[in-house]
Structure formats: structure tokens, C-alpha cells
Structure 1
Amino acid sequence: MLTKGQKKAMQALNSGCNVFLSGEAGTGKSYVLTQFLREISDTKNVLVCAPTGIAAINIHGSTLHRVFQIPLGPISPTTNPLKISGPLEKADVIVIDEISMCRFDIFEFVAKSIKRAEAKAQKKSPSKTTKKQLIVAGDFFQLPPVMTQKDRLILETYWDMDIGDGFAFEAPMWENFDFASIILNEVVRQKDDVEFVTKLNQLRCGNKSGIEWINIHATPKKQKSIHLCGTNKMAEDINMRESKKLTGKSSTYCSDISGSVNPTDKPTTDKLTLKVGMQVMTLVNDSKNRYQNGSIGIITSLHDDTVDVSFAKGENVEITPHTWEIIDYKITTGNEKSKVEEVVVGTFRQLPLRIAYAITIHKSQGQTYDAANLSPYCFAPGQLYVALSRLTSIKGLHLCGQIMPQYLITSQEVLDFYASIENTGIPESEQALEKKSVKNSKRGGARVGAGRKQKYGVETCTIRIPISAKKDVLAFLASRKWD
């Protein structure tokens, strides 16, 4: 059953306009996309993509790099697509899930590829409409794209500007798509804990007033569940320490790989060493609904190719190897016309498990836990919000230390971006689109955050300036007399 907001989202998706589908954690963005893709799969050519291999597997699609043949490493503004693939040229609809994980230079390359594919198709069929529908889904208030310091330095040199957190909406071509913005706000994940939802919404937007309530209402009892950590080192140390406590024999289960499988496509390790008593997390949904992706359990016995796991409900389940398919797209020619179809380019077969005494907050994004222990130290925008919003209720949250106000970090660029867009829905007419386009053009080439009324009545905005001009701008600001 779709919520009111999800129905509005479906209406926009089915209208054919470009859509930015966003909303709080747990509002069902991926669910809406899945329903939409099911409806149009027989009538339209669709490409489904995500920035990472795991995110692509979760939506049964392919990675952006594979579909758009994106070069590895930082991409300069002068880099253009060398070749447009047949599937991209024929695609009617392009879906990008988890858009918050997509770095701005990668989105810029994708945008150039789409526009070039439209132009190529138009040249071949001048009388036909060749515009492609682009749908991007995700929440920019969650974790920003992963970026090394080396990548940051290269990108700032290429683009001659402070790139901030490198979100996709900072790409110059983002504005060219005139997205209808649909912001879902009916939370499904924590639907039975209304006050928890209210506090999460405050934290999502950088309002620290919800921190005290979380500190007070989290359970003092340590949970027999996963430990969420801000850093890889802490998660690795906990997993190693707890694993060493287990006595008895261990068994190692090896993956079976065929075709083209990249390291980032693998949901778990090639060699999985397990012991009886070990805490693990499932990585897929069970067809019989005995466990879901992210369920926590304890191994009760080991077999040659399978293991038995006991879950919180008390049910002992035999876990068998799972085959993940790595997807790409190809064109097939039928009786009527050519069609874009999925093709399996590789498979990864392994037990759908991960040792799960601890996991980083980054790796927990997209999952749901009934209970978890949290070390609240966070250092990245959206990190604390992602960790807390994994829980279905405050009753299942144990804090391994007090949440300090400085742990809540919210990107000003994201605040400005959401303030600059509206829950627009479907554009009413071409005239409405034209007015929106004029409004965007007045901002200039670089993205400028819309003014935001603060509680003191001060208008603020975020403006990207070239690094080469930063010294002159700072000198100008210092020379001004401010009231």
C-alpha cells in the first residue's frame, strides 16, 4: 500500500518528466522506484544504475561506471564521453538510485553522456522525440560521496574551485534537467515511534535540540546486536576481538566467481571464516520472510556448504549460498523494434553473511535494525543521522557514550540546496518549465544556494567561487563595513 506521498511520487514518475525523488530515511524511496520499474518494464527501455556495486545489486541494476563507461579517478570539466553505448542511445528512462553517493564530476560526465545520446538519437530520427527521462533518487542529508584527500586536491585543481563535499547537485549540468522535486516525508521505518521520528527530523536538518532527548531515551542496556562505528579501525578491532573469544573449530567458505566481477561488486568477502557462536548479519531477503537484509543472528552449526543461524525470533534457519548477478545492458532486436535488456555479465556466489559484531556507519546506509549499539563519535556530514535512522525505535538503541553536539554535522550546501527547491510534483505545463528554466538561468552557471531565512532574519546562501579568486573575495569582504 502506497502512502499519500508515494502516490504523488508515482504520478510524477509516470508523467515522463525528470524527477528528483528524495525524503527522510525510511520513507520508501527505493520501494517507490521498484514499483515504478515494475510498471514500465514491458513498455519502455530502462537503464537502472547506482554509484556503487552494492547499491546497484540492491536495486537490481548496474553501476554508473559500467553503464556510462566512466573513466576511473577524478574527471576534469573538459572530459567528454568518447562513445555512446547502444543501450544508452535506445534508453527511454534512466534511473540513478542513491544519488547522494554520486560525486559531482561523475554526475557531470553522466549528464554529458545523456545529452549526447539524445542528440545522436535525434539526428537519426529527426521526426521523433528523443528526450530521455532521468530519475535520480536519494537523500543528500545522508552521507556525502566518498572522496580521498588526493582526489579532492586533483578535483579542485581541475575545476578551480572549492568543491565542498562534492554532491551531485553541485555539477553545472544538474540544473539542465529541470527536475520535478518530490520529497517524501511519511516515515515507514519508525512509524510506531512518532517522537523518535520527530527528533530524527530535527537532527537531519542540523537542529541539535533532539540530541538531549536521544541521550535520555536510549536504552542503558547493551543490545545483543550489531555495533555501529564511525571508523573502519574501530569496527575491525571489535570484530577481531569478539571473534577471538570463540573457541572451537572454524570453517572457511570460498566464493565462486564467473564472468566480469569487480572488487566493489562483491557484497561480502571471497573467503568467509566462520565459527559456532559467531554473530553475523544477513545480506539478502529470505523468500520465506524468516530474515531480511540486515538481520542479526548467531551461528549454531557449520556444514560443508551451509551454516545454521539462530535469529532473534528464535527460529533456526539454514543459510545456503546465494548468487548475486552483475548486470549490464545490451540491445536485442525483435520482430517489432530493438529493445534494451538486462544481461548478466558476471556472478558472485557465496554465503550471504558478514561477520557482524561491528560495522561502519557508511556500510550500514540503506539497512534497518531493530536493535544496535552505537559509538556516537562522528566526523562526516550526515553520519550521525544515518546511524540513528537505521533503528526502527529508540527502544532498540544503546549508546556507548553520550552524543556530543559536535558529532552532529550537517552540510550547509545541502541545507541551501533543499531550501532552493520545492516539492514541485509534475510541471503543470511547458510554460511552467520555461519559467523555472528562466529562474535557474538567473543564478548563473555555478550553483548558488537560495536564500534561507534564519531565526534572526538574516538571508544566507552558499556561493562557489574559483580558488584563484578566493584571496580577492576575502580581501573585499574584510574591507566592507557591516551593520
Structure 2
Amino acid sequence: MRLTCGKVMGSEAERIASFDRWLLQIGDGSVYADKKMELIKLPPDISIAPSHNQLKSIVDAVYPSLLQNYNDPTYLKERAILTPKNEMVHDLNEKIMNIIPGEGRTYYSSDNVCKASVNTNEEDILYPTEFLNNLRFSGIPNHDIHLKVGSPVMLLRNLNQTEGLCNGTRLMITHLGKWSVNANIISGKNIGTTVTIPRIIMSPNDSKWPFKLNRRQLPLATCYAMTINKSQGQTLQTVGLYLPKQVFTHGQLYVAASRVTTREGLKILNADEDSEDHTHIKNIVYREIFQNVYPRLVETHDVTL
């Protein structure tokens, strides 16, 4: 659907069809250079050659002329770096944020333990503030968020669906207040709308700790780079897949590669030190899923194959 959004004919249509077939082969796990190791071979035009500075290579590939376009919403909304894990997302965003001119502002969260989740009155002694500040959870902003005017961010909570403020909406910061920020929406149906994002109280849905954390913070995360899982639903013109470690779960590679609208918009950098060949990357697909689904669909006439 992303690849055929425009009318094309002739050789261009064949190029799109060829890329489409390659993506579908990744999705259903039907093409491997090494099936035992679950490795596929990257086409030369998609693979980025490794260098002594891997982070700079992927940033330059996805954000060319960044200093000239860092506050252009059209430039920002159509590109992103994807990577499997949150730790690398944080490093990439921090590196790019340091390139952007301006002082910026750091917002610190207010963290405490929900008293109803513990059976003691000594939670302040057991779980000091410094300890709570260092905790990181998926889907919850960090204790410290550094923002600059012009930086793109992603909303981590549904605030107002009518105004387009939903989980996954991307915005561009226009003003940094003391307890809130102003931003323009750059994705979805309300592009261009100016909104105010306040601090709210958030708690992780699933935690290994024997208490419930309440974190009052801006429900935002910088999104020059984002995890592959968080990119689901996004449509981008330029995607850089950065792999310091290989994908680790079913369908991750397909999700990342299928965010783009053209073959030229996809670049993949295999920076895994354990890889023998940077043009070969892992693609994890549990094919038994499809074997169980397709017969049932045929029997119930839910779909015509």
C-alpha cells in the first residue's frame, strides 16, 4: 500500500513490484542466504558500508544537510532512524541533539512510589528518589528529557484524540516552557495544529519491581531515532535501519523495511561486531504461524487466497 500510493507505469512499476516482492519474502521468511543462521543478503544499493564512525554514517544517510533543515517540519516528518533496542535509540537521539544549534532545556521528572502498591510505610527509605530516577521502562519517558526548539518528538500517551494527540503522534517543538512545551503536529490528520503538552503522571504497565512507580513527566520522547516496534503505523520517505545488534523477534526486520514508500528511501547499516559479513543480516520469521493461519482462513471463508 505504501509503495503503490502513486500512479506509475513501465520500468518504474517493475522496480516497485520487484521491491515489493523482496519485502514480502522478508515478511514470510521465504528467502535466506543462510537458512540455518536465518541470514538474508542485502542488495548493494540498500546496504551502507561500515566505517570507523558508524553513528555518523547512519545519521548522514538519513539526515543529510541536517543543520540547514533541522527546523523544517516537512524534512523531519518524512525520515527516521530505526533500531531494535531503546539503549541505542537514546544514544542516537543524544548525538543528533548535540548537533542541533541552541541551548535547549532539560526537563526532570518527579518520581515516587504509589503507597497503595507497597505494604510498608518505609518506601522512602527502601526506594530513595535517586534510585527511582534511574529506572527506565518501555513506554515511559526517562527521568531527564533534553529538548530544543525544532526537535521532533513522539507522544507516548493518548491525550486528546479529537485534536490528534494520540500515542505515536509526532510533533515539532516550537516553545519550551517551565512545566510544559508548545509543539506543532507533523503527522496524522491534524498536521500544522499547535498544541500544548503538559506534564502528566504515568506508570509502567508491566514492571519487575515490587512497587508501582508514579512518574510525573512530559509524555514525550525525542524521535530522530525510534525503536522498530514504536515505528509501527508510521509511513516515512527515508528510513535508516541501524543494527549494532541483530533483530531479536519475529517480523522486526519486515516492520522496519516496510516503513518506506520507495526502495531508494531504505538504507541499512549492519554494525554488529559479531557479523562476519556486513551484507548479511538476521531475519527472524516463525513460519509455523502462517501454516496455522491460512488453512483456517480458507475453511471459514474469511479471505480469498
* TM-score, scaled to structure 1: 0.36
For residue 311 of structure 1, what is the aligned residue in structure 2? 185
What is the correspondence of 1:382-397 to structure 2 with a 5 Å cutoff? 382-389=251-258, 391=259, 393-395=260-262
Equivalent of residue 266 in structure 2, options 399, 403, 411: 399
Aligned to 2:216: 349
Per-residue deviation, 1:305: 1.0
> Retained in 2: the 8 A contact 1:323–1:347?
yes
Counterpart position of 2:36? none
Q: Which residue of 1 aligns with 2:68?
A: none
| Counterpart in the other structure of 2:104 | 250
Deviation at 1:326, TM superposition (A): 5.5
The 5 Å alignment of 1:319-398 reads 319-324=197-202, 347-361=214-228, 363-364=229-230, 367-371=232-236, 372-375=238-241, 377=243, 379-380=246-247, 382-389=251-258, 391=259, 393-395=260-262, 398=265
Q: Secondary structure at the match of 1:308?
A: strand
Describe the shift of the 1:360–1:327 C-alpha distance in structure 2 as closer, same or farther (beyond 3 A): closer
> Which string of whole-angstrom CA distances, capped at 9 and with x for unpartnered residues, describes residues 303-351 of structure 1?
11110112333332211223335669xxxxxxxxxxxxxxxx6643321
**How far, CA to CA, are the matches of 1:266 and 1:227 in structure 2?**
18
Is contact 1:327–1:346 with CA below 8 Å preserved after alignment? Answer: no
Relative to structure 1, the CA distance from residue 397 to residue 271 in structure 2 (aligned partners, 3 Å threshold; closer, same or farther) is: farther
Secondary structure of the structure 2 residue equivalent to 1:253: strand
Partners of 1:314 and 1:405 in 2: CA distance? 40
- C-alpha change, 1:397 and 1:274, in structure 2 (3 Å) is farther
The correspondence of residues 252-291 of structure 1 with structure 2, limited to 5 A, is 252-258=106-112, 259=114, 260=117, 263-264=136-137, 267-285=140-158, 286-291=160-165
Name the structure, 1 or 2, with higher relative contact order (CA <8 Å, separation 6+): 2
Q: CA RMSD in A?
A: 4.4
User: Paired residue for 2:24?
Assistant: 201
* 1:99-149 superposed Cα distances (whole Å, 9 cap, x missing partner): xxxxxxxxxxxxxxxxxxxxxxxxxxxxxxxxxxxxxxxxxxxxxxxxxxx
Find the aligned partners of 1:396 and 1:253 in 2 and give their Cα distance: 38
How far apart are 1:231 and its partner, in Å? Answer: 6.0
The answer to which structure has the higher helix fraction is: 1
User: 2:81 aligned with 1:227, yes or no?
Assistant: yes
Aligned CA distance change for structure 1 residues 386 and 276 (closer, same or farther; 3 Å): same
Q: Is the 8 A contact 1:307 1:320 kept in 2?
A: yes
Structure 2 distance, partners of 1:315, 1:248, is 24
**Which stretches in structure 1 are left out of the alignment for 5+ residues?**
1-186, 329-344, 429-483
CA distance in 2, matches of 1:214, 1:281: 30
Aligned structure 1 segments of 4 or more residues deviating by more than 6 angstroms: 402-405
User: Cα distance 1:257–1:198, how it changes in 2: closer, same or farther (>3 A)?
Assistant: farther
Decide whether the 8 Å contact of 2:62 with 2:81 is kept in 1: no
Q: Deviations over 1:243-299 (max 9, x none)?
A: 112343333323234515975366111222222222222212332243432233321
Task: Give the C-alpha shift of residue 421 in structure 1.
Answer: 5.7
Q: Is the 8 Å Cα contact of residues 80 and 239 (structure 2) preserved in structure 1?
A: yes
Contact 1:214/1:394 (<8 A) preserved: no
What is aligned with 2:166? 292
Please give the per-residue CA displacement for 1:29-62, whole angstroms capped at 9, x wherever unaligned.
xxxxxxxxxxxxxxxxxxxxxxxxxxxxxxxxxx
Contact 1:203 1:408 in 2 (8 A): no
Residues 1:235 and 1:263: Cα distance change in structure 2 (over 3 Å): closer
Alignment pair present for 1:419 and 2:297? no
Q: Distance in 1 between matches of 2:80 and 2:153?
A: 9
In structure 2, do the counterparts of structure 1 residues 319 and 191 end up closer, same or farther at CA, with 3 Å as the change threshold? farther
Deviation, structure 1 residue 192: 5.0
Amino acid at match of 1:379: Q
CA 1:280/1:230 → structure 2, altered by over 3 Å: closer, same or farther? same
Q: TM-score, normalised by structure 2?
A: 0.54
Give the 3 Å change call, closer, same or farther, for CA 325–359 of structure 1 in structure 2.
closer
Q: Deviations over 1:347-366 (max 9, x none)?
A: 433211112221233x526x
- Rounded to whole Å, the distance in 2 between the matches of 1:358 and 1:397 is 19
User: Does the aligned pair in 2 maintain the 1:208–1:405 contact within 8 Å?
Assistant: no
- Counterpart of 1:30? none
Kept in 2, the 8 Å contact 1:376–1:384? The answer is no
Unaligned runs of 5+ in 2: 7-15, 33-39, 48-60, 64-74, 118-131, 207-211, 271-277, 301-305
Looking at structure 1, the residues matched to 204 and 97 of structure 2 have their Cα atoms a distance apart, in angstroms, of 31
2:92 to 235, 238, 259: 238
Return the index of the structure with the highest Cα Rg: 1
Q: AA paired with 2:234?
A: Y
Would you say the 8 A contact 1:374–1:397 is kept in 2? no
